[in-house]
Amino acid sequence: MTLQQRFEPRGVIPAVLLPFFEDFSIDEASFRAHLRDVAGVAGISALTINAHSTEAASCTFEEQKRVLAITRDELAGRLPIVNGVYAEGSLEAQRLARMAHEGGASALLVFPPAIYTMGQRPEMAIEHVRRIAEVTDLPLIIFQYNPAGGQGYPLSTLLRMVDEVPTIAAIKDWCGNAQLADRQIRALHGRSRPVHVLSTHSAWLFSSLVLGCKGLLSGSGSVIADLQAQLFEAVQNKDLALAQKIHDRVYHTAEVFYADPFVDMHNRMKEALVLLGKLPRAVVRPPLVKIPAAEIERIRQALIAAGLLAA
């Protein structure tokens, strides 16, 4: 298969959630139902699994392999699958990448190792991605964190990485800075081999899309994939009046999903799906814990304000 025939990471790519039973085992039936629900939304281009939203940090290698197998079986080729590569070491990242390639993924979302919070050299970042590219020719999506936290890549490093690893096809941009986001879009989209910028600035999604992103990859798509698809289409059509109206609905969900502490964002999305009758329970794996009742009530009010739940 040539690069031209492969999945091109662009458009609306929701990152789905992973339901658990009370004993923290995977609820496969609920996961399948969730996959069907999100995959049935018009206007999405792929689904993401084994990432933050599916609590990959708390899942074993075998569980991630099973999540991919279930997803592939449930989608039956209807949508491409983006599989996360979430690992602290490059050798384990290789193992995950090989598993995802053999398991039928269409692209890989490459997370930065947490060790970068203690400092990173450009050569380290490039080596990590290069080792993944050694074991698979799938398109890579580089997860760009906020450089201020240590895990994000300086723009110079990101450009070197793209030069040295030709299978990099996109970045999932979470840099947290509108000026840097604009620079990245101009630098990456303007290359002779363009690299797409996918926004994951879900707390300010409308603004980030107007800057010129080629799509979005977001965990909140597990709840509001339809609104995201409508918003992206409106921005692409340059219908900013319609985009603003859709944003006014998305805003309410973003305010509760991305409140402090930020680590609970997908915890809150599970609670939203319970309120919407789409998940039977909102169990998360430790060290995450269930959010307070008052916060769940704020989520309920936000869903009502967004027009997703009856008062």
pLDDT category at 6 given cuts 50, 70, 90 is confident
Q: Residue 155 is encoded by which pair of tokens?
A: 């723009």
Taking the CA atoms of 9, 44, 213 and 178 in sequence, report the sign of the dihedral they define: negative
Backbone angles phi, psi at 53, to 5 degrees: -65, -30
Whether 125 and 116 have beta carbons less than 8 Å apart is answered as yes
The answer to whether residue 273 sits within a structural domain is no
What whole-number distance in Å separates Cα of residue 211 and Cα of residue 187? 13
| Letter string b/e over residues 224-251, b meaning 16 or more CB atoms within 10 A of that residue's CB | bbbbbbbbbbbbeeeeeeebeebbebbb
**Is residue 209 assigned to a domain?**
yes
- 131-156 residue pLDDT tens: 999 999 999 999 999 999 999 999 99
The token pair that represents 291 in the structure block: 């959010």
pLDDT at 57 over 90: yes
CATH code, domain with 20: 3.20.20.70
Average pLDDT over residues 299-303: 98
Residue 286 within a domain: no
Residue 88 in any domain: the answer is yes
* Calpha distance 56→53 (Å, rounded): 8
Position 173 scores a pLDDT of: 98
Residue 192 lies in a domain: yes
pLDDT of 4 > 70? The answer is no
Residue 58 lies in a domain: yes
Total number of domains in the chain: 1
Residues 196, 232: contact at Cβ < 8 Å? no
Placement of tokens 């792929």 in the chain: 46
Count CB atoms within 10 A of the CB of residue 52: 20
Please tell me the predicted confidence (pLDDT) of residue 2.
38
User: Nearest-CA neighbor of 83 among 74, 93, 160?
Assistant: 93
Indicate the pLDDT class of residue 163, thresholds 50, 70 and 90: very high
Residue 118 lies in a domain: yes
Residue 243 placed within a domain: no
User: Which pLDDT tens digit goes with each residue over 208-261?
Assistant: 999 999 999 999 999 999 999 999 999 999 999 999 999 999 999 999 999 999
Contacts for 181-184: CB closer than 8 Å, 24+ residues apart? 181/208, 181/211, 182/211, 183/155, 184/144, 184/155, 184/158
Say yes or no to pLDDT of 3 above 90: no
Reported as a pLDDT band with limits 50, 70 and 90, residue 16 is very high
Instruction: Give pLDDT tens digits for 165-222.
Output: 999 999 999 999 999 999 999 999 999 999 999 999 999 999 999 999 999 999 999 9
Q: Is the pLDDT of residue 90 over 70?
A: yes
Query: pLDDT tens across 102-113, in order?
Result: 999 999 999 999
Residue 139, classed as helix, strand or coil, is: coil
- 79 near 47, Cβ under 8 Å? yes
How many helices (H) and strands (E) would you count in the chain? 11, 8
For residue 106, give its domain range.
8-237
| pLDDT tens track for 30-56 | 999 999 999 999 999 999 999 999 999
- Residue 1 above 60 pLDDT? no
